[in-house]
Structure 1
């Protein structure tokens, strides 16, 4: 029974639909396994398929080996820095000693020169003291060169540490990227729903973004209907509605209006409206309560035809034959 002559109710036929989501490969590759079949229910974030990641795993092992080598190189460079710093301390101590010896040799040389003038010492002794002074100068120069060489060695070792640090960072970045790509190889359901189609099969190669599974969100089920302008203008968002499925006409399913198009379109050929003379209609979505769907998830089917009734006047009571009747 359809309230064709009641201006406070509108109806139109349609089919049960649901939001469809795809499970796709992020990168091109071969499908290793698919863990669900068509018709299976899946939870949000459930693992549903895996891509073949052997080549990425090999690259990860190589990157981890490079990271280990970089850490080893850094440890060696740090040990070298420590050794060079110990050598620097010894070289500086030697330089201090050589400067002390130079100062003593200089004083002895100067004293010998005065004594020679006073004929208080021999020329030979003065020559010996001068030779000792020049030798002390040479020893200071050698000690200074040694300090400079050790300092250069420290800088070189620290440069090796910096290079090792850079290699470590680079290897860690590669590892993080590869682990992310490996994680992307585990394909998970973006939301809870039912597997509608297996678009691809294990062993097949898919491209970037290649579809593998198509899911139907059975928590977001609706019927799209088309109403003439005179009725669409009276439809309020959230208005109560009723849905009767052709296959189970004994049940009346509660729903509500979730969308009303702002643009008119030509009435689709398969749509029956109250006024068949209407050429332009407005698309309206009638959504079934998700809480109700959760209780009857196993019975939810998409594509089945039915009729949606929309109450245009919130003050009107639903007719007896449109009172809610559920299994």
Structure 2
């Protein structure tokens, strides 16, 4: 009897040891979580006027160059006709004055001055256009930054409510459904913060680009002005009396008429609002019969094939992650489907785990942000969807 007890005890101990060993060898699968995001592109009215046609609707798939809306052209067509007539009149006077001189060298000198004048006018127009774009981008940046700050405050508020809800849930004071609803509110607030942060970055980039365009236009204008001075000096040697001043004045009149005509044509072209890229319209802010103000955002679109999500990799695991590696993505909306993504970038600097991670221990860890570009399932996935990510290596699953 005693031997049987000893044997039973040894068998039981061996079984427990084997089970414990198995549990140590089999590490549970660890998924990374994130929220799907999209790059939003504002479509702005570059001229103002009555919207006569607006065929675009929210959720519509659009192609680059596709017409979204049309602003009344009547005023702008009249401006083009007036500018063309003014140019023709100025050119006729110049041709008449030039016909009075038979010297080919004088004609060549006049052409050089005229070319320099045209270049100066063109750079002036470019500088003015860039200045208008700069003012518009600065205004948009201010608006988006204000919205961003508001979204961050909302996120902080929702996070504090989630902390309270977690405490209540642990005590059984609220249901799991209420607790998860608050978690979803935090996720939505975080998505809004991320989207507005991307808009702020894009707006600041447009501001910098406009500043660079202004500097380039002014530099080219300075070069043209120097060339003009040299051309005028050469022409002065070839001409006598007041004839030179008369022709120069006529050259200036033609150049001015050219600039006005270019501006009028540009404004007429901008009455047709077109999609800047392939994508999906997320929001519309104008309807037929409304008056569009210059600089106002008429539509907001999401570029096609530009869905992404961000996850955080612990510092100890960073060496196992490489740009270009594939990932598996799952979302609650399609529980039986696996979508494919590819690691697009890895942050250069570490940061503490974001506050929306639930466990305090996890929030104190250093992590690196990893951005994943979604390559499959773009027709099903939508911005704001929570997603679970499993990283893959070239040899197979991680």
TM-score, normalization: structure 2?
0.51
Q: Structure 1: how far apart are the matches of 2:369 and 2:87? A: 60
Greater mean alpha carbon deviation, residues 255-264 or residues 53-62: 53-62
Alpha-carbon distance between aligned partners in 2 of 1:72 and 1:78, rounded to the nearest angstrom: 10
**Cα deviation, residue 22, structure 1:** 1.5
2:381 & 2:52 partners in 1: Cα distance? 31
- Root-mean-square deviation (CA, aligned residues, Å) is 3.4
Partner Cα distance (2:98, 2:321) in 1? 77
Asked if 1:308 corresponds to 2:382, the answer is no
**What is the TM-score when the length of structure 1 is the normalising length?**
0.60
CA contact (8 A) 2:48 2:71 kept: no
**Where is the helix percentage greater, Structure 1 or Structure 2?**
2
Unpaired segments ≥5 residues, structure 1: 83-153, 320-327
Contact 1:223 1:308 in 2 (8 A): no
* Higher mean displacement: 241-250 or 52-61: 52-61
Name 2:263's counterpart in structure 1.
177
In structure 2, relative to structure 1, the CA distance for the partners of 1:201 and 1:233 (3 Å cut) is farther
SS across alignment from 2:347: strand
CA distance in 1, matches of 2:85, 2:60: 42
Query: Aligned in 2, Cα 1:176/1:220: closer, same or farther, shift over 3 Å?
Result: same
1:238 shift after superposition: 1.3
Deviations 1:20-62 (Å, cap 9, x if unpaired)?
Answer: 2121123555544433111111112222233445443332222
Answer 1 or 2: which has greater strand percent: 1
Given the alignment of the two structures, is residue 284 of structure 1 paired with residue 370 of structure 2, yes or no?
Answer: yes
Does 2:304 correspond to 1:225?
A: no
Q: Distance in 2 between matches of 1:31 and 1:248?
A: 40
Q: Distance in 2 between matches of 1:5 and 1:58?
A: 78
* 1:46–1:6 Cα change, 3 Å: farther
Check if 1:15 corresponds to 2:94. no
How far is the alpha carbon of 1:66 from its aligned partner?
Answer: 1.2
Aligned: 1:238 with 2:317: no
Gaps of 5+ in 2: 1-24, 102-239
CA contact (8 A) 2:354 2:363 kept: no
8 Å CA contact 2:73–2:268 kept in 1: the answer is yes
Measure the CA separation in 1 of the matches of 2:351 and 2:47.
Answer: 39
